[in-house]
Amino acid sequence: MKLNGVEIADGFAEAFGMRATRLVITADTMEWARRAAESLTGFATSVIGCGCEAGIERALEPKDTPDGRPGIAVLVFAASSADLAKQVPLRVGQSVLTCPGTAVYSGLDADETVEVGARLRYFGDGFQIAKRLDGARYWRIPVMDGEFLCADRAGMVRAVGGGNFLILGTTREATRRAAERAVKAMRVLPNVILPFPGGVVRSGSKIGSKYKALIASTNDAYCPTLRADANSALPANVESVLEIVIDGLTESDIAAAMRAGIAAACAPDSGLVRIDAGNYGGKLGKFRFHLREVMG
C-alpha cells in the first residue's frame, strides 16, 4: 500500500486501556485560561515518568463554557483510576487553583467520576462553600483574587492510550516537516491529545535494556545510526524517524486521528519513505491499530 509514493507498512500500533477525564478551565481571558492549561498539562508526556499523560484538546468560545468566559478543554489520561485520582487534584491544585481568575469544570458526563474540588476544598480551611446547581456540586474556595470556583468531581471514562505511528524520512528536515503537518491535522480533532512536546517523539523505546535497572531503552531497530546492525528495521535511504503518540477517548477517535495525521504527513514529494507503527508484538496492549486498515 502506498500513499503519494510513501509505503504504508503492514504493521500495527499497539495501544493500552487507560482512564481519562476532561476538564474545562475558564478564565477572564483566553490567555490566562491557556496559561493554566499549559501548566496543568506540562510534564505529562508519558505515564512512565509523569504519572499521567495530558494535553490541550481545544479552545472553547465563551458560549461553549459553563460560565460564559473563554476556556480550554484538557484531557488527562492515567493508567488506572487510582492514578488519575492522584494526578488530577495534584495538577489542578498546583496549576489552576494558583492561576488568576480561573475556574475548573467537568468536561465529561459519565457515571464514574474523579475527585477535583472534593479534594481541593480543604485548601479553603473551613471557609469553603459548597453549592449545588442543576445536579452538579461546586466549591467556592476563597483565594486572594476572590474565589476559586471548582467542580466537585469530573466525569471519568475508559479510554485508549498509546496509539502511534512512525514517520520514516530521507532527511531530518523532511521528517520533521511531515511530523509538523501531521500534528497540525490531528490537533483540530476532538477527543484526542498528543502528549509529547509539539506532539512529536524522537526517542521511541523498546521494552527492556541490557541494564537491569531500566524497564525501557532506545528503540535501536529504528535508530538510523545503527542501521548497520542486523536487527535494524530501516530501509537504506532512511535518515530520520519521528513518532507521533495519540491518546484518545475511544478506539475510533484514535483511528480517525491516525488517518488524518498519516494523510497529512504523506503529502506529495514529502521526502518520506515509509509509515510504520510501534508495538510490542501484540503482547502488552489491548488495542491494535493496523495501519493498512486505518488507511483503507
Partner 1 sequence: MTTLALRAGVPPGRISLAGIVPTALAGKTAATIERLPLVLGNRSVPLAELFAVTGAPGDTLAFADTNARCDSIGEGMDGGTLVVEGDAGLYAGRAMKKGLLHIKGSAGDFFGSAHPGTRRGMAGGVARVDRNVGDRAGEFLRRGIVLVGGDAGGYCGARATAGTIVVLGRAGAMAGWSLKRASLVLARMPQSMPPTFGDAGVHELLYLRLLARSLGLDAGRFARVRRFAGDSQVGGKGEILVAAP
CB atoms inside a 10 Å sphere around CB 283: 8
Residue 42 lies near partner 1 (rule: CB under 8 A):
no
Footprint (CB under 8 A) of partner 1, residues 64-103: 66-68, 103
Closest CA to 201 of 245, 158, 240: 245
Dist. CA 120–CA 132, nearest whole Å: 17
Considering the complex, what minimum distance in angstroms separates the CB of residue 193 from partner 1? Answer: 27
Q: Which is nearer to partner 1, 128 or 164 (CB)?
A: 128
β-bridge mates for residue 218, sequence order: 205
Q: Which is nearer to partner 1, 66 or 195 (CB)?
A: 66
Q: Which is nearer to partner 1, 138 or 287 (CB)?
A: 138
Q: Which is nearer to partner 1, 133 or 230 (CB)?
A: 133
Q: Is residue 273 within 8 Å of residue 4, measured between CB atoms?
A: no
The total number of residues written for the chain in this structure? 296
Binder among 7, 38, 147, 180 for partner 1 (CB under 8 A)? 147
Contacts with partner 1: how many residues (CB under 8 A)?
A: 16
Footprint (CB under 8 A) of partner 1, residues 111-140: 127, 129-134, 138, 140
Considering the complex, what minimum distance in angstroms separates the CB of residue 68 from partner 1? Answer: 6
Residue 146 lies near partner 1 (rule: CB under 8 A):
yes
Dist. CA 41–CA 153, nearest whole Å: 18
Binder among 60, 73, 118, 149 for partner 1 (CB under 8 A)? 149
Q: Which is nearer to partner 1, 43 or 127 (CB)?
A: 127
- Cell match 465563551: residue? 62
CA angle 91, 95, 96 (to 5 degrees): 105
Residue 220 lies near partner 1 (rule: CB under 8 A):
no
Sign (positive or negative) of CA dihedral 164, 291, 249, 162:
negative
Q: Do β-strands 205-207 and 136-143 pair in parallel, antiparallel, or remain unpaired?
A: unpaired
Interface with partner 1 (CB under 8 A): 66-68, 103, 127, 129-134, 138, 140, 146-147, 149
